[in-house]
Structure 1
Amino acid sequence: MCRIFGYFNAAVTPHAMRTVAALQRHGGPDATGVARGAGWGLGNNRLAVVGLDGGQQPYGRGGPVQVVFNGEIYNHEELRRRLEALGHVVPDRCDGSVLPALYLEYGDDFTEHLDGMYALALLDTRGAVPRLLLATDHIGMKPLYCRWHAADRSLHFSSELPALLGFGAAGGRVRESALDAFLATRTPFGTRTMYEDVEVLEPGTTWVCELGGLPRVRRREPQVPVVQEGPAGDGFTVARQVRRTLRHEVGRLLEADVPVAVITSGGLDSSLVTALAAEYGLQHTFTLAYRGSWPCDERHFAREVSDRARTVHHEVEIDPAGFPALLEETVWHLGQPNADPIALSTYALFRAIREAGFTVALTGDGADEVFGGYERMRRAAERAAAGAAWAPGYLDALSAVPAALRARLYTDAYRAHVATDPALPAAASEDLLHGPGTVLDRITRFELEQRLPAYHLRRVDHLSMASAVEARLPFCQRSVLSLGRPLPDHRRIQGGQVKRTLYAAAAGLLPDGVLSRPKQPFTLPVTAMLRPGTALWEYARDLLAPGRTAAAGRLDGRAVDALFAAQAERPDDTASLALWALLVHEVWDDQFRRSPRGSGAAGTVPGTAPLAVAA
């Protein structure tokens, strides 16, 4: 697991490469490697997880094919044996060391042989001019940010957006519609970022360019298998298939040359991963809680799961008084706004995992998208079945600020501007509203292909690697997707129950209290915490003062102030999440666009906030 960066058909100084490396060294503190040639450069920051004594990057240094790689290849031993039988020399047992030989054997299709999560950059100097290939995994677990300048045909890329800005050639222009996209979908979707000149390489994509030429971009395959019929058998048989497949993947993802833990929130998904990991001898679980008494406290459920799995359980407790400083750190590492309040807790949790001595952590992310776990999915499917309009409610549930409230918050000029630049990519919106399949099938496709990589996976990647922890996601493995994605509607959601197949797969493995509890999101109780008298409230009031929010001409300061008044009088989930999202955007604006307000200047990492860990 690493951070990667580089440039192509450009002139970049060694100082700039050092700057970019320094800006994402938190994700790869074990080594830094750089290779440069005429018009190109590759670099990486290494986090050693497999083959600790080898794995120097770029792989293939000095040879005709050099590779920098971020991620984990779970079938690397099988690939190594195959390549060596074909006469290739693989220098060590690090997973990424197979990549140059794999490319030499299979060409651009070498990614078809990879089982894992990755973003990589490969330079081939065998031709008359150097050739660069970029590639991402099937579902976007490892993002890659790119700035392609069409006029001079130059490229800069990196694993993290703040690092990309370190090149000095990217991120100069923020999209005028970026605020609306953020509020409408909680973070920019598709290839878009907050910046006009920076994009994210889509999942399952190969980007190829010869020095001085134009790039060719190819979507290699659907992110998830397209199957017309679900797994054969009755509900019990399918659930058993899911359990068996998930058990196998959890076992594979526990393999590492460093200590491994599991995040256990107390919900179904992470609890099932915990129970299966315990079968392989996993010993440590982590969960997060907040100091004081707050709604939605799940720590007792997590403790039940830990007790049943017989793990050493660590409760990470964070103090809400430290939220302002923690928010600045979190936003800096994300590089662009993400409206999920759990981002704060995610950052603190991974930091505690690293401080406790663990380098790898398994999580339950992706299960809701694959198996139909969100309440908004259930509501939309039920409304569609009743012949009622489902799309407006579903889209509002996706948003940080519902459409009607956004309209009240915007100035007339900004409201007119965003009407011409919708937040959702046009193709994604068309497929969601009018594509093939049932409403639930279209929603599942949208959740997996659009929302999961943009909103969840980038957040998990950035906030885990901020503390040099590799997050591994069993539910995002191809074999699990191939079972969950094609399930018929009734095996995902029916009779008010979500994730029916996954609950059936977990039967007998988890405490009854966990299996029968009402579903709730693993999140920060922002409605209760954002109230007069708290540190978070005072911080938000300061940053979202009417004159300050109105200065850019997009928001009506009086309308934002009315939100505070409504939240103070009668705390409400809609108002609190809207204020939280506006606060996150304002912090991001401070970090990356304005001159600094104390700590958190652009290009620097803010100070740390306190937390406590109990075993």
Structure 2
Amino acid sequence: MCRIFGYFNAASTPHAMRTVAALQRHGGPDATGVARGAGWGLGSNRLAVVGLDGGRQPYGRGGPVQVVFNGEIYNHEELRRRLEGLGHVIPDRCDGSVLPALYLEYGEEFTEHLDGMYALALVDTRGAVPRLLLATDHIGMKPLYHRWDPADRSLYFASELPALLGFGGIGGRVRESALDALLTTRTPFGTRTMYEDVEVLEPGTTWVCELGGPPRVRRRAAHVPDGAADPGDGFTTARQVRRTLRHEVGRLLEADVPVAVVTSGGLDSSLVTALAAEHGPQHTFTIAYRGTWPFDERHFAREVADRARTVHHEVEIDPAGFPGLLEDTVWHLGQPNADPIALSTYALFRAIREAGFTVALTGDGADEVFGGYERMRLATERAAAGADWAPAYLDALSAVPAALRGRLYTDAYRAHVAADPALPGAARQDLLHGPGTVLDRITRFELEQRLPAYHLRRVDHLSMASSVEARLPFCQRSVLSLGRPLPDHRRIQGGQVKRTLYAAAAGLLPDRVLSRPKQPFTLPVTAMLRPGTTLWEYARDLLAPDRTAAAGRLDGRAVDDLFTAQAERPDDTAALALWTLLVHEVWDGQFRRSLPGRGTAAQVPGGTRPLAVAA
């Protein structure tokens, strides 16, 4: 697991490369490697997980093909044996060390042989001019941000947004519709970021460019069936899912460093915990908040841990420290994410690292694959009744429902975002009118759009912020291949979500965990954002009417009305709206404004980081 960065058909000084490396060193503190040639440069920050004595990046250093790589290749031993049988010499046991030989053997199709999570950059110098190849894994577990300038055909890329800004001259213009994207979809979807000139490489994408030429971008086949026939009766299907998950969890526990398991007390992480415990004693971690709050799951997590006989760790955080924690979290994300659980995620992975663990298995992705969200259930029920399911579903995706957004926006901003909607046009068209049942379309949308943008980038950035590699069994191809083609009734029926996954977990988890009502794994922001709390005072200060109205996008009085409503009649809608606006304001202060007394830098964990200042 690493962080990568570089440039192509461009120039960058050694100082700039060192700056970028420093900005994401938290994700790879064990070594830094750089290779440069005429018009190109590759760099890596290494987090050593497999083959600790080897793994020097760029891989293939000194040869015609050099690679920097972020992620894990779970089938690297099989690939190593195959490549050595073909005459290639693989220098060490590190998983990424197979990549140059794999490319030499299979060319641009080499990614078809990779089983794992990854974002990689490869330079091939065998031709008349160097060639660059970028590639991402099938579902977007490892993001890659880039700035392509079509005028001079230059490219800069990095694993994290703040690091990419370290190249200079990038991120000077925030996308005018970015605030609407945050409120509508909780973070920018598709290839977009908050910046006009920065994009994210989509999952399952190969990007190829020769020095001085235009890029050639190809979305690779997902190799995951989309709406296939029923694979069998419910019992057989559940047994296949359990067997496949058991295999994947076993593989993902393999590392040359200590491995832990995140256990929230919900079905998904609890099932991963139970399966991991079959392979030997495990350490489990759960998050909780000091005081008495709704949605406290610590007793469920403890019950799962006791049954699995793990060494269990409860990480308790104090809500009084949320302002500072929020600033750290927003910094590491690089752009706003409206999910309040981001704070807890950051704190949890920090505690995992402090306890001596470098890898952690999580339950992320199960809801998207197996149909676990309440909004999915409600949409299918409305569609079956002949009602229009889309408005309520889209509001459930949002941080601020459409009607409230209309009241918060100024007339000018409302007109602007109407011409530049938050959802990518093709994605919206497929969601509303594409092939398959309503649940088919929603599942495709959740997996291809929302999961990588909203969940996977958050998990990646906030785990690697503390030098922890998060591994996700439910995002493995084999699990997707079983879950994605399930017919509707195997996922949601009779008011029950994730029917196949619950059946797969039967007998492995405590009855109370299997029978409990589903609840979101989140921070109870509605209860915590109340008058008299530290978080309330912090939000009131940053979201003062004159400050929120200054950019001409929001009606400051309408934002102030949200505080009045939340103080008098607390509810989830007002609380999440205020939380999201607060997250945006913190991000705006860190990445666009020169904060008082700080010049053009912001204090963040590990030292001072340069800011991108708006033009």
Q: State TM-score, norm by structure 2.
A: 0.97
CA distance in 2, matches of 1:79, 1:71: 16
> Using a 3 Å threshold, how does the CA distance of structure 1 residues 614 and 32 change in structure 2: closer, same or farther?
closer
- Contact in 2 for aligned 1:492/1:500 (Cα 8 Å): yes
- Cα displacement string for residues 59-83 of structure 1 (whole angstroms, at most 9, x for unaligned residues): 0000000000000000000000000
> Using a 3 Å threshold, how does the CA distance of structure 1 residues 223 and 194 change in structure 2: closer, same or farther?
farther
Aligned pairs, number:
612
Match of 2:85 in 1: 85
- Contact in 2 for aligned 1:316/1:612 (Cα 8 Å): no
Residue 609 of structure 1, CA deviation: 18
- Cα displacement string for residues 208-239 of structure 1 (whole angstroms, at most 9, x for unaligned residues): 000000000000113733xxx87882000000
> Using a 3 Å threshold, how does the CA distance of structure 1 residues 154 and 346 change in structure 2: closer, same or farther?
same
- Contact in 1 for aligned 2:349/2:466 (Cα 8 Å): yes
CA distance in 1, matches of 2:609, 2:509: 34
Q: Identity of paired residues, percent?
A: 91
Write the mapping of 1:597-608 to structure 2, written as runs, cut at 5 A.
597=596, 602=601, 604-606=603-605
- Contact in 1 for aligned 2:602/2:609 (Cα 8 Å): no
In the TM superposition, structure 1's runs of 4+ consecutive aligned residues that sit over 3 Å from their partners are 229-232, 597-604, 606-615
Match of 1:595 in 2: 594
Match of 1:123 in 2: 123
CA distance in 1, matches of 2:227, 2:419: 40
- Contact in 2 for aligned 1:148/1:155 (Cα 8 Å): yes
Residue 598 of structure 1, CA deviation: 6.3
Structure 2 unaligned regions, length at least 5? none
> Using a 3 Å threshold, how does the CA distance of structure 1 residues 612 and 121 change in structure 2: closer, same or farther?
closer
- Cα displacement string for residues 242-278 of structure 1 (whole angstroms, at most 9, x for unaligned residues): 0000000000000000000000000000000000000
> Using a 3 Å threshold, how does the CA distance of structure 1 residues 608 and 37 change in structure 2: closer, same or farther?
closer
CA distance in 2, matches of 1:378, 1:101: 47
Match of 1:180 in 2: 180
- Contact in 2 for aligned 1:204/1:223 (Cα 8 Å): no
Match of 2:228 in 1: 231
Residue 613 of structure 1, CA deviation: 38
Match of 1:20 in 2: 20
Residue 341 of structure 1, CA deviation: 0.1
- Cα displacement string for residues 261-307 of structure 1 (whole angstroms, at most 9, x for unaligned residues): 00000000000000000000142000000000000000000000000
- Cα displacement string for residues 421-479 of structure 1 (whole angstroms, at most 9, x for unaligned residues): 01000000000000000001100000000000000000000000000000000000000
Residue 90 of structure 1, CA deviation: 0.2
CA distance in 2, matches of 1:265, 1:87: 47
- Contact in 1 for aligned 2:139/2:448 (Cα 8 Å): yes
Structure 1 unaligned regions, length at least 5? none
- Cα displacement string for residues 530-570 of structure 1 (whole angstroms, at most 9, x for unaligned residues): 00000000000000000000000000000000000000001
> Using a 3 Å threshold, how does the CA distance of structure 1 residues 548 and 312 change in structure 2: closer, same or farther?
same
Residue 170 of structure 1, CA deviation: 1.2
Residue 600 of structure 1, CA deviation: 11
CA distance in 2, matches of 1:312, 1:339: 32
CA distance in 2, matches of 1:421, 1:556: 20
Match of 1:553 in 2: 552
CA distance in 1, matches of 2:223, 2:409: 36
- Contact in 2 for aligned 1:139/1:223 (Cα 8 Å): no
- Contact in 2 for aligned 1:23/1:163 (Cα 8 Å): yes
Give the secondary structure class of the aligned counterpart of 1:554. coil
- Contact in 1 for aligned 2:170/2:612 (Cα 8 Å): no
- Contact in 2 for aligned 1:269/1:365 (Cα 8 Å): yes
Residue 599 of structure 1, CA deviation: 7.7
- Contact in 2 for aligned 1:180/1:418 (Cα 8 Å): yes
> Using a 3 Å threshold, how does the CA distance of structure 1 residues 231 and 215 change in structure 2: closer, same or farther?
closer
CA distance in 2, matches of 1:600, 1:288: 36
CA distance in 2, matches of 1:230, 1:26: 40
Residue 614 of structure 1, CA deviation: 43
Q: CA RMSD in A?
A: 3.9
> Using a 3 Å threshold, how does the CA distance of structure 1 residues 402 and 553 change in structure 2: closer, same or farther?
same
CA distance in 2, matches of 1:77, 1:219: 27
Residue 612 of structure 1, CA deviation: 34
> Using a 3 Å threshold, how does the CA distance of structure 1 residues 64 and 19 change in structure 2: closer, same or farther?
same
> Using a 3 Å threshold, how does the CA distance of structure 1 residues 292 and 386 change in structure 2: closer, same or farther?
same
- Contact in 2 for aligned 1:591/1:600 (Cα 8 Å): no
- Cα displacement string for residues 485-530 of structure 1 (whole angstroms, at most 9, x for unaligned residues): 0000000000000000000000000000000000001100000000
> Using a 3 Å threshold, how does the CA distance of structure 1 residues 611 and 506 change in structure 2: closer, same or farther?
farther
Match of 2:73 in 1: 73
> Using a 3 Å threshold, how does the CA distance of structure 1 residues 456 and 29 change in structure 2: closer, same or farther?
same
- Contact in 2 for aligned 1:145/1:161 (Cα 8 Å): yes
Residue 172 of structure 1, CA deviation: 1.1
> Using a 3 Å threshold, how does the CA distance of structure 1 residues 599 and 398 change in structure 2: closer, same or farther?
farther
- Contact in 2 for aligned 1:23/1:603 (Cα 8 Å): no
